[in-house]
């Protein structure tokens, strides 16, 4: 089976071709990061217009790199939710047009499920081991942060165990990046600068430490960095900047990993997975692998290209749906909210 995936939920226009074994035959990502960088965040209207400009060349490139044509496909999967509706609409309409014109099946995919199953993607002929259901996945991106239990790849079998009450982890990286004049997005830059820093020179408190809580809060960590800057001014030397980045990153990584392993223990699973843009973070990846080894659980840390937004993960989720005999109708609509059941209400304040 061969599926084309299309992704346009936020600031990446992406298309990919994946086969039934999860092998990624092509993966094209056009990032809009330079377009939005000057505004310090994503401007939805600009995002939609740029998706419109790029969707056709990106899809053509994905088919060409996979040495395939639309006629050889078994279906077309597209991110239907959650995201910016105007941005999603571009991908959804393109997918509908392609599916209608070629007589292929259409499948709407939840972007979060894409991140949660990205560990199944195979990016080389040397196959990597994949997790076994049930497993717990930490999804940490720019728009979402939460812990999920997956009983199978079906959205109905995915349960949110706890999520952030306020900002997503990636959002905190980006806001701290802005505060320290590091440009947008802040995550990759903070990751790079933190490498040279001493994480213990400044100490920030990890929020939501109650043992039984699997919820997160990241806006408090960002506020602690802001108060530090208010009191001491912005770092003036490279060493001070590196130490501040390292301390902030350590606090976020500690919060994410503590809750991930608490969730795995509570749920009695032996496999843990990470996904989303923040799962590209070097310290998070290393800490998850080291802690897993200590605790005797298996950790799955996907390739960085599978963690950040991509269409291969969307194609893979589409494949699992097609294999179950499921597909979408022509009334498939773009929607801003996830279909996954939510357990955490935002904004109840810190515990």
Binding residues for ligand KG4, rule: CB under 6 A, are: 10, 141-143, 170, 173-174, 185-188, 191, 276-278, 280-281, 308-309
Residues 47 and 43: their CA atoms lie apart, in Å, by 6
> Shortest distance, CB of residue 178 to Zn ion, whole angstroms?
20
Q: Answer yes or no whether residue 141 interacts with Zn ion by CB under 5 A.
A: yes
Judged by CB, which is closer to ligand KG4: 63, or 90? 90
**Residue 139, helix vs strand vs coil:** strand
Q: H/E element holding 138?
A: strand 135-140
Bond before 82 cis per omega within 30 degrees:
yes
> Shortest distance, CB of residue 114 to ligand KG4, whole angstroms?
9
Does residue 130 contact residue 120 with C-beta atoms inside 8 Å? yes
Among residues 123, 114, 91, the alpha carbon closest in space to that of 22 is found at 123
Give me the residue label for tokens 């208010």.
230
Burial 123-138 (b: 16+ CB within 10 A, else e): beeeeeebbeebbbbb
Does residue 195 contact residue 243 with C-beta atoms inside 8 Å? no
The item of ligand KG4, Zn ion, none sharing an interface with residue 188, based on CB under 5 to 8 Å by kind, is ligand KG4
Q: Answer yes or no whether residue 174 interacts with Zn ion by CB under 5 A.
A: no
Sign (positive or negative) of CA dihedral 99, 104, 105, 110: negative
Q: Minimal CB distance to ligand KG4: which residue? A: 277
Sign (positive or negative) of CA dihedral 58, 75, 139, 155: positive
> Shortest distance, CB of residue 83 to ligand KG4, whole angstroms?
8
> Shortest distance, CB of residue 289 to ligand KG4, whole angstroms?
15
> Shortest distance, CB of residue 13 to Zn ion, whole angstroms?
13
Judged by CB, which is closer to ligand KG4: 256, or 269? 256
Does residue 49 contact residue 5 with C-beta atoms inside 8 Å? no
User: Who contacts 181 (Cβ-Cβ below 8 Å, separation ≥6)?
Assistant: 234
Give me the residue label for tokens 């108060």.
227
> Shortest distance, CB of residue 283 to ligand KG4, whole angstroms?
8
Q: Which stretch binds Zn ion (CB under 5 A): 81-89, 137-145, 235-243, 343-351?
A: 137-145
Q: Which stretch binds Zn ion (CB under 5 A): 29-37, 140-148, 175-183, 243-251?
A: 140-148
The item of ligand KG4, Zn ion, none sharing an interface with residue 261, based on CB under 5 to 8 Å by kind, is none
Binding marks (x or -) toward Zn ion, 303..332, rule CB under 5 A? ------x-----------------------
The item of Zn ion, ligand KG4, none sharing an interface with residue 191, based on CB under 5 to 8 Å by kind, is ligand KG4
Q: Answer yes or no whether residue 26 interacts with Zn ion by CB under 5 A.
A: no
Q: Which residues pair with 28 in a beta bridge?
A: 15
> Shortest distance, CB of residue 348 to ligand KG4, whole angstroms?
23
**Contact footprint for Zn ion (CB under 5 A):** 141, 309
């Amino acid at each position: 089976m061969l599926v084309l995936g299309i992704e346009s939920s936020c600031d990446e226009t992406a298309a990919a071709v994946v086969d039934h074994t999860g092998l990624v035959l092509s993966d094209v990502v056009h990032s809009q990061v330079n377009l939005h960088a000057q505004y310090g965040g994503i401007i939805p209207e600009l995002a939609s217009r740029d998706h419109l400009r790029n969707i056709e060349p990106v899809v053509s490139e994905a088919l060409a790199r996979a040495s395939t044509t639309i006629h050889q496909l078994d279906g077309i999967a597209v991110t239907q939710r959650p995201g910016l509706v105007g941005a999603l609409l571009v991908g959804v309409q393109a997918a509908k047009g392609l599916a209608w014109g070629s007589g292929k099946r259409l499948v709407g995919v939840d972007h979060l499920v894409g991140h949660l199953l990205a560990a199944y993607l195979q990016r080389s002929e040397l196959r990597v081991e994949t997790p076994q259901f049930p497993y717990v996945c930490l999804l940490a991106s720019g728009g979402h942060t939460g812990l999920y239990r997956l009983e199978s790849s079906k959205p109905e079998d995915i349960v949110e165990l706890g999520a952030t009450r306020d900002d997503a982890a990636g959002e905190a990286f980006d806001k701290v990046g802005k505060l320290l004049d590091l440009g947008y997005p802040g995550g990759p830059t903070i990751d790079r600068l933190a490498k040279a820093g001493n994480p213990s020179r400044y100490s920030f408190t990890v929020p939501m430490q109650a043992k039984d809580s699997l919820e997160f809060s990241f806006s408090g960590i960002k506020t602690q960095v802001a108060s530090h800057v208010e009191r001491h001014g912005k770092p003036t030397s490279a060493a001070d900047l590196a130490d501040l980045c390292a301390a902030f990153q350590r606090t976020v990584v500690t919060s994410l990993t503590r809750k991930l392993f608490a969730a795995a223990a509570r749920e009695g699973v032996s496999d843990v997975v990470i996904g989303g843009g923040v799962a590209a973070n070097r310290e998070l990846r290393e800490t998850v692998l080291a802690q897993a080894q200590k605790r005797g659980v298996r950790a799955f840390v996907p390739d960085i290209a599978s963690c950040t937004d991509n269409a291969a993960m969307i194609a893979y989720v589409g494949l699992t749906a097609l294999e179950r005999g499921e597909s979408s109708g022509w009334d498939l609509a773009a929607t801003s909210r996830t279909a996954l059941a939510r357990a955490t209400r935002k904004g109840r304040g810190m515990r």
